[in-house]
Structure formats: C-alpha cells, structure tokens
Structure 1
Amino acid sequence: MATPSSRRDRVDTMLAFLATFEPERDASAKAIAWRLRRAARQLDTEVRRRLAPLGMELWELEILSGLRRAGGTLTVGELLDVAQLTSGAITNRIARLEREGYVRRDVDPADRRQVLVTLTPSGLERQLQAVEANDVAEQEIFATIDPALQHRLSSDLRELLLAIEGPDPHA
C-alpha cells in the first residue's frame, strides 16, 4: 500500500506484512481501524497518566463531565448512554462516586421507577480538576500537529461518527 509521504508508521508495516499473505485484499478499512485504535490508545494512555495523580480514572471524568454537560442531573439510563457502560458497571461506578460524595442518587418524583443522579458541588470541583488534567494531556499530544491538520481530522472523524452512530439524538 503506497503512503502519501515517504514516512511510514507502524500500521504501514503491519499492512505490508498482511499484503504478503493476501496481496489482493483491500485493507483500507483495516488501516483506518488500526490507526484509530492506536491513536485512541495513545490519547487514553496520556489522559490516564495525567489523571493518576488525582486518583481518578477516565470513566470518572466521563460520568462527571456528562452530568455537568446535562446541567447536573441525569437518569441512570441517560448516564449509560453518556459513559457507554453496561447497567451493572454504571451502577457500581455511580455507587462509588456517591460514596466519595461526588454525586447523589434520588428517586425521580415524576417517575418513581427512575433514579436521578446529580452532580454535587464536590463532584463539580472534581470534574473541573479532571478537565484541566485532560486538557493538558490533549494539548501535549496535539501540540506538534499542524492546526489545519487538526481541523481536517476533527471534521473527517465527525463524518465517520455520523456514518457509524448517526446524529446526536439529543441535539
């Protein structure tokens, strides 16, 4: 597979190896998937490294940030969508955040079958710390990438996610 520049990344090496066994195979989708996974892994690793001194994990940032974006309160079901977790995992994580005083759970007065999860003032403070650490990690990773390329990547990834997930149902 020809590369647009003379520089090769690790995925180029993997694709070349694959081509020795299946030269007729169109590996375009595989190249995208491998590069996205590698990039996501690098980003997650750096964000986790920045969150570790705060004693925080990435899932905590996602849940607290989801609550903040929603105005402070979501149902457990809505949090499932925000955090992309299973119902068992979200229940355990909400319980942990509640024990630490970052959220509180209440029965929805309008629908007693629903549980509302609300960000506490201490949870908001925690979320702000996490966002700061996350921002530093992202700035470091993307600091050497041309701003025009960053814009193109963001736009192309938006189109990819729209094709895979569809538009945001809450927008």
Structure 2
Amino acid sequence: MNLTIVPDDLNGEAVLALLQFHLDEMHRWSPPESVHAMPAERLRQPDVAFFSAWDGEVLAGCGAIKHLGDDHGELKSMRAAPEYRRKGVGKAILARLLEEARTRGYARVSLETGRPEPFHPAHGLYRAHGFVECPPFGDYVSDDFSICMTKDLR
C-alpha cells in the first residue's frame, strides 16, 4: 500500500462518511459526556489542521491536530477506515501529524481517548510512538472512562 496523506477541506463525500462513522462509533462506545470527537464543522475551524490518507482513490483514514497553545497541539479524529485497520494507516497518519506538530514548533502533543477495550488498539499505537499517560489537559477531566496521553517533542 502506498498512502498519500494530504491536507483536506472536509468537503469530500468519503471523508464526511468516515467522520460520521467515527462519531457513530464514539457514541456507541462512550458515555454521552465522554464523546469528545469533533464534527466536520468544528474540524474546519482555523485552529485545526485536518489530513486525509488515500490508497489511490480510496480513503484509508484521517486525522487532525488542534492548536492548543504556542507549544502544544492535540490529536483529534484519528481514524482508519474499517477495511484499513491494522494495516499501518494509523501509524502513517500519526507520523504526518507529528511532523505537522514539529513544523508548528510544538514542544508536545497530547490526546484524549477512552479506557475500555475498543480503545486498546489506539493505546498501543500511541505508546509505541512515545506517548505516555498524563493528567487531563484543556477541558478534560479525570474519570473512569477517559485517558489522556502526551508526547514530548523536544
């Protein structure tokens, strides 16, 4: 597979469908107060850089980075399309987002995800790339459902 990862304006049908799938899964797996996934309208805002990953003409995944401060970014909407799970798409998107973070001069990148079993593959991906558990940041709170992770880029 030869992925092409590009900035995306979130107007394509395939991207919008994958984001809706992502939101639907987050609502299925998470209590309502713990769904922090952003809809397309929010991901289009200037403080977010959104990328889509393509295998030829087929959408393989997506991910975004949100500006939190001069030295801090947050990963958002990391998602591989179902047929591309466990094929390296998440790893490729993560690498692109970390490259973007370094270009922006961030000293660290953080994320929030769920603790239950459906989120364990994400934990593995992030840990394999140097992310460690951290206290809540931004508006997140410490609870039994959420886990926050961060990676120092310095």
Q: State if a TM-score over 0.5 links the two structures.
A: no
Provide the TM-score with structure 2 as the length reference: 0.27
Q: Which has the larger radius of gyration?
A: 1
* Structure with more helix by fraction: 1
Provide the TM-score with structure 1 as the length reference: 0.25
